Amino acid sequence: MNLLARVDTLMTKNLITINQKASVKQAKMKLDGHGIHHLLVVNDFKKLVGMVSYLDFAKVYERHTEGLEVSAIMTKPLVKLERTDTVRTAANLFLLNRFHALPVEDDGDLVGILTTFDLVKLIDREEIKLTDYV
């Protein structure tokens, strides 16, 4: 695996976002409807303000969520990547912080999301034997 490759070569660019004022129910429907685990939260100006994951829903499972806005359960502040950061940088952030997804920006504009699943796809695509690294 080329650890010096830029993250913009493997990040997801077709972003699914939700406004911070949307309901928790709408966020859950979006996650389920698209079969994704992380949903980027933006403000009215399309600027990244947080992220919602299935883990966030688990935290509020027993709480009453009717009428609750996404901003109440989203993770913030976020660690972010720049599109020119390397795969090595991303991998280290995933390992050190136990993250599963990192938003990718280009000069403050949201341009992608990189997940641990993207790294697994890269390993599979390059047919790397995991035993080479054990």
**Which tens digit of pLDDT belongs to each residue from 28-49?**
999 999 999 999 999 999 999 9
Q: Which residues contact 25 (CB under 8 A, 6 or more apart)?
A: 65, 66
Asked if residue 62 has pLDDT above 60, the reply is no
Q: Which residues contact 74 (CB under 8 A, 6 or more apart)?
A: 20, 41, 49, 50, 51, 52, 56
Q: Which residues contact 30 (CB under 8 A, 6 or more apart)?
A: 16, 18, 39
Burial of 24 (0-12, 13-18, 19+ CB in 10 A): buried
CB atoms near residue 126 (< 10 Å): 9
Tell me, what's the pLDDT at 58? Answer: 77
Kindly indicate the confidence band of residue 7, based on its pLDDT and cuts at 50, 70 and 90.
very high
Instruction: Decide which of 3.40.50.800, 3.10.580.10, 3.40.228.10, 3.40.50.1820 is the CATH code for 7-133.
Output: 3.10.580.10
Tell me, what's the pLDDT at 127? Answer: 58
| Residue reference for tokens 């795969």 | 87
Tell me, what's the pLDDT at 71? Answer: 94
Angstrom distances, CA of residue 47 to CA of 20, 72, 98, 109: 10, 17, 24, 7
Kindly indicate the confidence band of residue 80, based on its pLDDT and cuts at 50, 70 and 90.
very high
Tell me the average pLDDT of the chain. Answer: 89
Least confident segment among 43-52, 63-72, 91-100? 63-72
pTM above 0.95, yes or no: no
Which residue type, as a one-letter code, is found at position 11?
Answer: M
